[in-house]
Structures are given as C-alpha cells and as structure tokens.
Chains A and B, each alone.
Chain A
Amino acid sequence: MSWLPSYIQERAPVYGTMALDYLNQARNGFNKLCVNLEPWQIVAYTLGVTFIFLWLRRQHRAEKTLFSRMKSKLFRLVRKVPWVQAKIEKELSKVRKDIEDSIHKCDRRREFHTVLPESGLKTEDIVREAESYQSMTEFPYQDGRVSGAVYTDEKKDHKLLLTKIFDLYAYSNPLHPDVFPGCRKMEAEIIHIVCNLFHGGPRSCGTTTTGGTESILLACLAYRNRAYANGIEHPEMVIPVTAHAAFDKAGELFCIRVRHVPVNPKTMQVDVKAMKRAIGPNTCMLVGSTPNFPCGTIDPIEEISRLGESYGIPVHVDACLGGFLIAFMEKAGYPMKPFDFRLPAVTSISCDTHKYGFAPKGSSIIMYREEEYLHHQYFCIPDWPGGIYATPTLTGSRCGANIALTWATLLYYGERGYVAATKKIVDTTRQIRKGLEQTKGIRLVGSSDTSVVAFTSDDFNIYSLSDRLNKMGWNLNTLQNPAAIHLCVTTNQTKEGVAEKFVDDVRQGTKDLLSNPESTKDSKTAAIYGMAASVPDKTLVEDVAFAFLDSCFATPSLPTGDADSHHHNGKESKADKHSSSANGRAKAK
C-alpha cells in the first residue's frame, strides 16, 4: 500500500471503518424490516422474487421479445372467438380464391398429373408437354418486361454450351469428391475465382450454395456458432431494416435475435450511429448490403467495417444481388468506394452467381476472409454409425450440375464479358432513373447505386400504378414500409427500346392516375398491402402469404369440364389395376 499517497494512507483505516459501519447499518436496517416476517416467509418471498426475476430475464433475452410473444398469443386467443373466427375465415377464403385464380388463370387446361402414370410416357410426349407448360407464361421475360427473375439474355451459344455441360455432369455430386473429382475441382476453382474478384487474400475461402438465401443462412449460422464457441448463450445480429429477408429467416431458424437498424429515409443507407447503439455484448455480426434489394442503395460499408473493427465484431457484406456488378464497376468506368475484403473487418461476403453472374438458377457463393469463420459453418458428427459425416453447407448430396454450369458460365464470360454487361446494365439503370426523375407525380426512393430503380408517389397510391403497369405487361416488385415499387434492371432491359418504353408506360400510367384518382380504388395489390399495413395481427398477413404458397402447390381442376372427370377416371382405373397386378404377383411368388 506504500505506493498510495500519504493522506490516503493515513485516512484509509478511517474510511474503512466508516464503510463497514454503513454496511452494518444497512444490514441492521434490512434485518429490522424483516423483524415481522417469519423465516419461512423470508425464504418464500425471496424465492418467488428471484424466480420472477430470472423468468423475466429469460424472456428478455429470448429471440422474440416478451411483448411480441404476448401480442401473438393474445391475437391467437382473439381468433379463437367463434364470431371473429367465422369472420376471418370468410375473408380469408375470399382472398384464397383470388390468389388461386391469379396463379392458375394462365393454365387454361388445368389437367394435372396427380398420379404416376402406369407406364412411362414417351420422350417426345414429355418434351411436348414441358413445352406447353412453358408457354403458359404471360410475362415473356426475354422482352425485358420482368423486374429481376432472369438476369441473362440467354445467348444461344451460351445455352448450347450449358446443355452440353449439363449432359456431362447431370448425375455428379460433390458429396463424393473421389467419385467426381472433376466436379470437386470446378467448385474449388469457382471459389478461388470469386474470392479474387472481391480481393480476398490467400487465406480467403468459401463454398458454393444453392442460392442467395442459403449463402446468407450459412453466414449467420457460422457467426452464431462462433458466438456459442465464445460463450455467448444468446447471440444477436445487427442488420439494417433494408437487409434481405433471409437474415430474419436465419434469426428464426437458428435462434438468433435480430436487431433492426433504421436507415436514412432519403438515401436509404443504414444509419451507422444507430447501428453503433444497437451493438451489445451479445452481438455476433453486423450486416451491410451492396446494394440492398428494396431500393438498390449501397450501405456505407467502410463505416460499418470501422465499427466492426473497433468492437471486434465480424461484418458480413450481402452482395447477393449486386456482387457481379460491383466487382466490375470500377473497370466499367464507375468509381466505387471499397466494399470487400480490402476493408479489414469485412469477414464474409455472399454473392449470387445466378443473378448477374448469369449462371442458371441454383447457384451462389459464400466467402470468408479466413478459414476460422468457414469452420464454424462446417458441420460434422464424428460419431455417426454411418461413418464420420461432414458437410460444408446445409445440404448433404449436392447438385454437381449446378456447379459445373456456374463454372462454365464464369469462364465463358470472362472479365471482359462481365465488364461489358455491367456497363450496359448500369447505364440503362441510370437512364431509367433520369427518365423517372422528370416524371411528374413520381418520387425516386434511394440512390440506385447499381441496378435497381425504386420509386413511389406522393400524389396517389403507388400500388395502383403497379397494377396498371402489370396490365401493360410489366412485372415489377412491390415494396412496403414505405410503400414503393421497383424495377430491377437485367440484361433483358438493356435491349433496344425497353428502357424508353418503360419510362413512357410509367408516364402514361401516372398521367391517368393523376387525372383520375378514383381509379386507384380497385387495386388488389393496394388492398392486400393496405390490409397488411393496417392490421395489427401479423399472423393474418402470414395466413394470406401461406395461402399464396399453398395455391402454388395446388392442382385445382376446372369447376366443371370433361377433362377433369376424365382424369379422375384415369386415376380410379389405375388404382384398380395396381391392386389386381399386386395380387397377381403375390400369388405367383
């Protein structure tokens, strides 16, 4: 204690006694308070209070807050009231019918294979049927009428190449690298090629996945597992509200609490100060998008990286949508701020090869700065009776063909091919943005840094414009909170005249709506989103969404018609025949 100043040394004993005195007083005071209580009461009360405290703390730490859980419980109870139930069921069945009609209206025949045919069909018949199924679409995306969805213009040469590659690799499966060494090699090459695009060092690594959502899920899983390994029992992730829905999905799937950070309402970039405030001891990852899906704005990755660096938290960059644009924009002549592994705290990047990489659907990449992170994504059970089992992604067997197709597409385009495509796409996006900027009644949302133009209106319900454009053959994406719509520009929109036509059609639609505001009322999209925004019980919105999914898997026959009854007869006779043939065989054996 000699290093302490002398006046403290002198007074220390005094302070010590004083402190003890206070403590003693507090103790006596407390004991006095309890003088009227019997010991068993003291124990019982303490027990009760501690339990309640611990319970509340657990609720507070859970992925879903106590408040949101109580809310959903309350709504569930309300929905059990017969009168409410009947009313909701009536509304829902109407919505269900609407949805089913809208999904199946393009299918005029409504004949379905609902049972396996007894004998296999002939190749020509199957091909003919596949062709007729394909021709049902009312949105020919090749004409540039669909936002996003298909990003390539499906060049004939490219398609021929892919058909050949598919034939070579149709049954390959990287789960068996010894049986399919070629497929393994291709995957390794894809990873190295894409890591290099994002300036990953020699230790950068990753895996291919089946799509952007899986890539995002895997990153979240890796960071969750890393948090567990570091002793964090209830990990949290901090994401902008504009981040892709897959992050919320990861939260629900993997029991990670999601903290949403607001964005600047003008630029739609994440509010970095708010992000800083959201960071806590349980934070396992920060997220930024390049760009985000709703309005195409690139988040300030440099600042997020700085946050990650100072707090020692990994940063995930979601480049699913724009990965194959931003990597080439510099070379295409558009200056870019650093967004990738050049920033020290960026530890992972997700990037879809099946979007602007132009590969067929079912391929995306998740990359990490170092193997340390990737290993938290790997799964292994060393004790499985079926052998030591280890997989890099969510799947076990994987589609080797998808890997081979991606590999071929990357090498087919090469750097020049991607730079050229990027230039065309970004140019078209800016052209459309400029056109809409000058349109009266339209207000742009966000900054369209890469390929998305999002817009809304202060004068009318924007969803009714979406419906109107839909009737003109345009398929756009609807956004909410705030209400807006967007066009995601693909190679198909860079075709001659498409951008001009789009701007013209928006202008025409806007003019109509401005001159005739009454016509916004019959918009179905507006009705659904209006309902979603006004209803406090979100499970109702879920029910509508689930009805949509259900009707995607439905095989509703036409209400009346010969085709239907014919089909049923087919099924009956087949079933009979089966049972008889089964009996026949059974007797023979």
Chain B
Amino acid sequence: MPSDLIQQTQTAIALARALINNKLESIDPLKLVATTVAATYLFCYLRYLQKSDKTLTARFKNALFYYLRKVPYVRRKVDEEVEKVKGDLHHSIHASDKSGHFFVSLPQHGLSKDELIQTAKQYEDMEGPQYLEGRVSGAVFSDEPDDQRELLKEVFGMYAWSNPLWPKVFPGCRKMEAEVIRMCCDLFRGGPKACGTMSTGGSMSILLACLAYRNRALERGIEFPEMILPTSAHAAFTKAAELFRIKIVWAKLDPVTYQVDLKAVRRAIGSRTAMIVASAPNFPYGTTDDIVAIGKLGLDYKVPVHIDACLGGFILPFARLSGYHVPPFDFSVKGVTSITADTHKYGLTPKGSSVIVYRDPQYLHYQYFCDPDWQGGIYASATFEGSRSGANIALCWATMLFHGTDNYMKTSSAVVETTRKIRDGIKKIPALRLFGSSDTCIVSFTSDKIDIHRLHDLMGKRGWQLANLQFPSGVHIMVTLNQTKPGVADAFIADIHGVVEEILASPKAQAEGPAALYGMAQKLPDRSIVKEFAYAYLDECYSTPTAMHNGTH
C-alpha cells in the first residue's frame, strides 16, 4: 500500500512538473524570475496587511477619507461643521464658570493657605449636576458619608508623599498594597498563587492585562497577536489594541440577552489568539457574559480568559453572599486567568484606584517591565508608572477595612434592589424596550417608537445626567449609592414617564445639545470627523478662554 501511494505521488509530482514546465517554457527565464519576485513580494505584503492590527479595509477607508477631505469643498463643509460643534462644546464646558478668571502663569508670590482654600471652594461650587442627590449616572459611587471622609482625611495626611516605588522608604505603603491585593484575590476566590497589582483606574488595569497577554503571545512566537472582544466590552480594550498593536477580532452579541454570542467567540479563536475577554457586567448594557462557558472555551483551546469586572467586582461577590443568584464569574471558573476590578467604583474609594489580579504569577510576570541595562540601575516596575501615588493606595486600603464585608453586602444589595426597581418601572412603559436583563447595576434601554436621544436631552433638562449609547442608540443609568437614597428611583421613573409622554405629544421636535450630536455623529460615514469632534471636546476641556497668556487674576 505505502509503496503504491509513493508511486502515485511521484507520478502526480512528475505530471505537475511537466505541466508547469510546459506552460513556462516559452517565457524568458529573466521574465520568469522578475514575475516571481514581484508576485511573492505582493503576496507577502498583502498577507502582512491581513495579519496586522490595522486591517486592509481600515487602511483603505482611512486613505479614501483622507484624500476625500483634501477636496476643498469637502474640507470647507467639514470645517464648518466642526466649528459649529466646537461652539456648542465651548458653551457646554464653560457654562458653569461665570468668573472668567484663570490662573495662566505662576503668581509672583504664593497665595496664602486661606485664600487657596477659599478659591478651591469657589471652584467646587461651580454649578454642576447634583451627583449627591442621585442625578448623575455613575461618576461618583460613594455617598461620601462624614465618618469615611474624616478617616480619609487622616490617612491622606499621613501618606500624601508616600510612593511604593521605594518599598524600603515606604514599607507601610508597600504593605497596604500587598494587603489590598490579597483581600481582592480572596474576594475573587483565587488560590494561594493568585497575585496582582493595583493601578490608577479601570483603563489602566485593562491595559495591563492586555499588555501581559500580548507579551505572552509574542514570547510564544506569535508575531501578530489577536484578542477576541465582545462588541460590548469597554473602550479600554480597543485602546489597548491601538497602543500595543493587538488585532481585535470582534464577537457579536446575542440580540435578545445582550450577552456575547458564544458561537461567535468559538469561531473567532485561532492560532494567533492571545486572549478572550468577557465582562461582568459590561458598561453599555449591564449584562454579564456567560463566563462559565467562555472559561470552558479558554480551557479547551488553551487561551487565557480575562474577566472585566471593573464595574461588578465589588457588587457580584457580595450579592452572592447576600443570597442573590450570581453565576460564577471569578477564579472559581477554571479557565479564567485574570480579573480587573475597580476599587474606586463600587469599592467606594476615592478616584484613582483599581486592581488587576491573575490566577498565577506566570501571567503577572508578563506585565512586569525590566530594563536590566539601564545606567540608572537595574530598573523594574510592576505597572505603567514608575513613581506611584502611595496616598491612593492608603486610601483604598483604609476604605476597604472601613466597610468590611458586612457593609459591602449592604451597599451592593441596595444597588441591585434599586436597579431592579428602576428596571421594573421602565418595563411598564410600552414605548421603551430594555437591553438585556438590567439586573445588576445598570438599567439600559432604547425605544422603537420615540427618538431615544431626545429622551436623553429632555431628561437632562430635568436635571438627570444619563449616558448616551450608540450602535444601537439607547441610554442607560448606572446606579450608585446616591441613587439608592429614598425617593430617587421613584422620582427617576416618574420623570421618564413624563418625558416619554412629552415626546409622544410632540413627535416632530428634534433633540438638542450633545444628544443631537449623537444622532448626527452616528450617521457620518467618515468616522474621523467624529474623532475630530471628540478632540475638539478634549481641547475645550483644557482651555482658559478669556484670559489667555496675560498675567494672573
């Protein structure tokens, strides 16, 4: 049999050879060489483009719009639009500041302590949405109780200049960080090998996880690593992809549950997959992906699975303890290799703290950075930063010990109960449709009957600041402790009712302000114009409009 097979193959090869020779005989060898070189070159280039994080279509689209915008007519039109948007943004950013005074250069003499405190209070008093009254979706998660504030003030005074880059000079700060990590590892049911670091926020934690898995893939000889990302995952993953050159393979959502489609995830897994992402819960819809199933996929295909629990990290474990049905989302699911959780969200600490924990130090070590040859000494850092704010760590440590399991159980139950109350209220409004189950900390909805951006706009006029969603259009409210205060949920539902009626009564009217911008932005085919709007917004955030560069107050 084998000899038969060999013979057959040999004949086939001889045949193919003869065929090729026959075809190419009449061509000049030089031409042959030239054509082959060109063809190979082209093939390799196309393959590179296809594997690279910037895909061929993206490159093509960018180039197309780039040249299109060079056409004077188009340029003028776009500039006009951008200028108009800039004007709107300028107004919305500076509306609350009536003073018109800015410090734009260092005063000759320093200001006194009392003057400064007074000025800082004036700044603080500038009119903004009343977040402590529960009017703002997300943003501040703590209700800032007086005793916690006192505690934080004390701890800050002690640790203001501390810096874990110097563990021997600041052993206390070092110890606190180690303890926060251990407490979180325990919270997420990690074994004795579980480990991690703190970071300055959820984006940082996510960036670090992506970096670790990219470095791991690179070391394994994968030149163009890919990550599998549900379309509902946080924007920080896209940021990581752009920063660290990872190719994103998108997995779509189930249109009913708004969890990631498991079949899509499985199809996306390939030889270059560096990580799979799932959220607990995601930001737009507040749904938790089927982490048990994704963990199994990760195990089957030997791909690390990252759980983004930036939002739910300090709700889900305590909700479970309080007896709510919470499917496993942490290290108790075997395939899960890392978890991000924001202590400065439902952990109720001041802004600037989050944790990234790994199942095993082998992953963490890919996050570490070391420059063994640096002139300034052997340099190693655990996160992106060199020097880090020790105060943020101390504040997080103090807050966690201050609340303890009991209080976190209370706060997370209050958040879940309020979320479900608001969800039930929305459910009863026929013009609105919920995105998914909305049962943890976010109520996310849209409408098939009314302009949802207008609802956002009108709610804003009633003092509620909600988040705009797009692709598909929608709005959501993220429930913090401030919404769990008595009467807030009821007032919210009542106002939604009122606004829906208002819109139904005047269906032709248009949305205004940022909500209108959303409606317009979604229709633009050239997404770089939307980027330009966003950059204009950021620029505006850094502007000091009246007193540019001429002295002080």
Contacts and interface: CB of A to CB of B under 8 A. Distances in A.
Contact of A248 (B28, B187, B371, B404): B371
Interface in A404-419: 404-405, 407-408, 410-418
B204 A381 contact: no
B431 interface: no
Contacts of A246: 386
Given A188-B543, A382-B531, A388-B534, A42 B29 contact: yes
A107 B175 contact: yes
Given A375-B535, A416-B108, A398 B200 contact: yes
Interface string A162-199: 11111111111111111111111111110111001100
Contact of A131 (B25, B119, B158): B158
B27 to A, nearest CB: 7
B178 A554 contact: yes
Interface in B378-432: 378-382, 384-392, 394-395, 397-398, 400-408
Interface stretch (B72-80, B141-149, B293-301): B141-149
A150 B389 CA distance: 12
A37 B175 CA distance: 73
B155 A361 contact: no
Given A241-B375, A379-B242, A181 B172 contact: no
A255 B245 contact: yes
Contacts of A546: 365, 368, 370, 380
A210 B198 CA distance: 14
Given A46-B37, A107-B175, A475-B168, A397 B155 contact: no
A179 B465 contact: yes
A396 B354 CA distance: 12
Interface in A544-569: 544-546, 548-550, 552-555
- Residue among A149, A293, A404 having the largest count of chain B Cβ atoms under 10 Å: A149
Contacts of B544: 185, 188-189, 192
A371 interface: yes
Interface stretch (A6-14, A212-220, A306-314): A212-220
A581 B321 CA distance: 7
B284 interface: yes
Interface in A118-154: 118-121, 123, 126-127, 129-139, 141, 146, 149-150, 152, 154
A12 B163 CA distance: 76
A388 B351 contact: no
Contacts of A417: 110
Given A118-B405, A549-B368, A166 B44 contact: no
Interface residues of A, number: 189
A472 interface: no
A39 B27 contact: yes
Interface string A222-252: 0000000000000000000110111011001
A481 interface: yes
Nearest to A102: B168
Interface string A362-400: 100000000100110011111111111111101111111
B388 A362 contact: yes
Contact of A399 (B41, B284, B352): B352
B504 interface: no
B380 A414 contact: no
Contacts of A532: 372, 378
A39 B28 CA distance: 9
A398 B201 contact: yes
Nearest to B33: A46
Contacts of A37: 29
A426 interface: no
B358 to A, nearest CB: 11
A107 to B, nearest CB: 6
B182 A184 contact: no
A116 interface: yes
Contacts of A47: 36, 40
A542 B176 CA distance: 25
Contact of A161 (B116, B239, B361): B116
B174 interface: yes
Contacts of A107: 171, 175
Contact of B21 (A39, A102, A375): A39
A103 interface: yes
Nearest to B160: A360
Contacts of B238: 381, 384
Interface in B139-169: 139-140, 142, 144, 147, 149-169
Contacts of A241: 375
A578 B469 contact: no
A39 B375 CA distance: 57
A185 B171 contact: no
B123 A585 contact: no
A144 B150 CA distance: 31
Interface in B448-504: 465, 467-472
B404 A414 contact: no
A167 B153 contact: yes
A187 B542 contact: yes
B527 interface: yes
B128 A387 contact: no
Contacts of A126: 151, 155, 398, 401-402
A388 B163 contact: no
B244 A386 contact: no
Contact of B200 (A112, A354, A386, A399): A399
Contacts of A30: 29-30, 33
A477 B351 CA distance: 32
Nearest to A189: B103
Contacts of A221: 243
Contacts of A149: 163, 165-166, 169
A4 interface: no
A40 to B, nearest CB: 4
Given A42-B33, A210-B388, A538-B373, A395 B203 contact: yes
A281 interface: no
B40 A117 contact: no
A190 to B, nearest CB: 9
A84 interface: no
B169 to A, nearest CB: 5
Nearest to B93: A177
Nearest to B215: A252
A-B residue pairs, 3 tightest by C-beta: A362-B389, A399-B352, A133-B172
Given A177-B93, A362-B392, 5 more contacts: A39-B21, A141-B169, A382-B530, A411-B116, A574-B405
18 contacts: A103-B167, A106-B168, A116-B183, A120-B406, A123-B147, A126-B402, A162-B160, A193-B104, A207-B542, A245-B371, A254-B245, A384-B470, A385-B285, A385-B472, A396-B203, A397-B202, A528-B378, A585-B322
